């Protein structure tokens, strides 16, 4: 399949997803409390089979899921994406026991996952993690496992679904001074002693918080992948989800563009519809062109991931960079063309304006994506 074209089955599936999002998921999203996990919404994603599809999806299917849901209900898109981000390390690097315990619960929407990478002093520079894993030897390791274990101490911040998630993929430093090569990924259930958290109120309504880990016990049975190889687990997850962040952005840009087309066709000013003003029609043409270009970059990056291409990091970074910057531009232009009505609380564009800002920062800020692209080009 060419990356620039979807087949009829894929187009039909996207239409079905948009209908589901509008009819079944948006009403649940509207009942949610800002900054809190909307468990009825997560459960509905499970009942509709979307979480199970997300867990088994390749990169292109994941992008189509996220773009389609975002076009109609950003809250549903985000709830699905956060389940994927938190559970993907378990899916790809977990043991049979870890997968059997948690993945069916995630797919059913009964357990909420979280990806705990960022720290107060380690956001974009993820290799600078300071949360420590202190070795604890013994016949019965911490966390209920056999053999040696660790005690996790430190803080995580800007963690989506914290502090209400049911389990966390936590990245901790097991070898001091080793940079990215001394990080280990652990699966940490939320009920472990010493694990507490607080919510953080943000511009957008997503559930985000900080975690405090005070000698939280983990054992070898909680390791995801290999000891000191956790950075690979993080990067594998981000390489998949960065293009799909771009898909989320494209979905928002598409919704803003669609609203702008309707508004500028109906709204009259200076003796005719807004669309007849060249300054307006040219602006809309630019919005449409950039949105389509972003969509193609996202699809190309997803195709590269699915086919095992060697340039996945570069393509993923390009897709995430261009799509999120484009969405910011398109939503801002849509607000401008709608005028004051778009600033009223509850308007679609007011909602999108708050939603669209964060993706330029999380999962690697725009500046980090440019650094990755340049490194790949010169490498």
Q: Are 184 and 93 in contact (CB under 8 A)?
A: no
Q: Are 355 and 66 in contact (CB under 8 A)?
A: no
Closest to 156 measured CA to CA, from 188, 182, 178: 188
Q: Are 152 and 132 in contact (CB under 8 A)?
A: yes
Active site residue 226: no
Q: Which of 30, 363, 367, 376 is catalytic?
A: 363
Closest to 45 measured CA to CA, from 1, 67, 77, 74: 77
Closest to 309 measured CA to CA, from 213, 231, 376, 375: 376
Q: Are 238 and 364 in contact (CB under 8 A)?
A: yes
H-helix segments, the chain: 8-20, 26-30, 39-47, 50-56, 59-72, 74-93, 96-108, 230-266, 278-306, 312-338, 348-355, 366-378
CA–CA separation, 304 and 292 (whole Å): 18
CA–CA separation, 345 and 34 (whole Å): 14
From first CA to last CA, the distance across the chain in angstroms is 29
CA–CA separation, 317 and 322 (whole Å): 8
Residues with catalytic roles: 363
């Amino acid at each position: 399949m060419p990356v620039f074209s979807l087949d009829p089955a894929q187009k039909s599936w996207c239409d079905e997803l948009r209908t589901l999002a509008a009819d079944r998921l948006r009403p649940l999203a509207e009942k949610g409390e800002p900054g809190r996990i909307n468990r009825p919404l997560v459960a509905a994603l499970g009942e509709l089979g979307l979480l199970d599809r997300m867990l088994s999806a390749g990169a292109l299917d994941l992008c189509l899921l996220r773009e389609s849901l975002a076009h109609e209900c950003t809250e549903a898109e985000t709830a699905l994406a956060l389940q994927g981000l938190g559970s993907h390390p378990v899916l790809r690097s977990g043991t049979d026991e870890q997968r059997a315990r948690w993945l069916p619960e995630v797919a059913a929407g009964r357990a909420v996952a979280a990806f705990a990478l960022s720290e107060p002093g380690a956001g974009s520079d993820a290799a600078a993690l300071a949360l420590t894993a202190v070795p604890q030897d013994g016949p019965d390791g911490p966390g209920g496992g056999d053999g040696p274990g660790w005690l996790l101490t430190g803080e995580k911040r800007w963690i989506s679904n914290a502090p209400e998630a049911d389990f966390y993929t936590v990245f901790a430093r097991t070898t001091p001074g080793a940079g990215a090569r001394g990080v280990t990924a652990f699966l940490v259930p939320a009920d472990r002693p010493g694990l507490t958290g607080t919510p953080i109120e943000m511009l957008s309504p997503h559930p985000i918080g900080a975690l405090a880990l005070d000698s939280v016990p983990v054992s070898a049975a909680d390791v995801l992948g290999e000891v000191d190889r956790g950075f690979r687990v993080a990067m594998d997850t981000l390489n998949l989800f960065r293009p799909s962040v771009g898909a989320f952005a494209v979905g928002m840009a598409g919704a803003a563009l669609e609203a702008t087309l309707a508004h500028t066709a109906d709204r009259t000013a200076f003796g005719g519809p807004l669309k007849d003003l060249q300054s307006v029609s040219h602006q809309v043409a630019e919005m449409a062109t950039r949105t389509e270009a972003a969509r193609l970059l996202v699809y190309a990056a997803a195709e590269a991931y699915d086919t095992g291409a060697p340039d996945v990091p570069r393509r993923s970074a390009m897709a995430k960079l261009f799509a999120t910057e484009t969405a910011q531009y398109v939503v801002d232009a849509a607000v401008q063309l709608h005028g004051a009505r778009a600033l009223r609380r509850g308007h679609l564009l007011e909602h999108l304006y708050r939603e669209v800002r964060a993706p330029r920062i999380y999962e690697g800020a725009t500046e980090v994506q440019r650094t990755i692209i340049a490194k790949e080009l010169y490498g």
